[in-house]
Amino acid sequence: MIEGSMGKTENDTQIAQQTSTVRNEIVGSITKVTDVVAEITASSNEQAQGIAQINQKLGPSSAEHRNGGRVCCCSGRDEQSGGADEADAQSL
């Protein structure tokens, strides 16, 4: 009976050590993920600042002018393709 208890105790000790090792590996992995997320956040902030600087240099009138042209061009394409789609549908 004592030998059986000692065997179980040794087995439990090994399991506890393995569990501790795995837990430490998980904590290390979580730390690495946290570091990567922090780097991504910093890079995103730098990128946003760069874009803001570019937008400042371009000025609001320049950006509005370009966007207005795109809207105009896109709506023209939509009307043209819409007409082609209707023609295709009628031919069926």
Whether the per-residue pLDDT at 55 is higher than 60: the answer is: yes
Helix residue ranges per DSSP H, the chain:
2-58, 60-91
Tokens found for residue 32? 């690495």
Q: What are the domain boundaries of the chain?
A: 1-58, 60-92
For residues 44 and 38, give the distance between their C-alpha atoms in angstroms, rounded to a whole number.
Answer: 10
Give me the amino acid identity at 10: E
Of residues 88 and 51, which shows the higher confidence score? Answer: 51
Averaged pLDDT for residues 39-68? 85
Say which residue the tokens 């837990």 belong to.
23
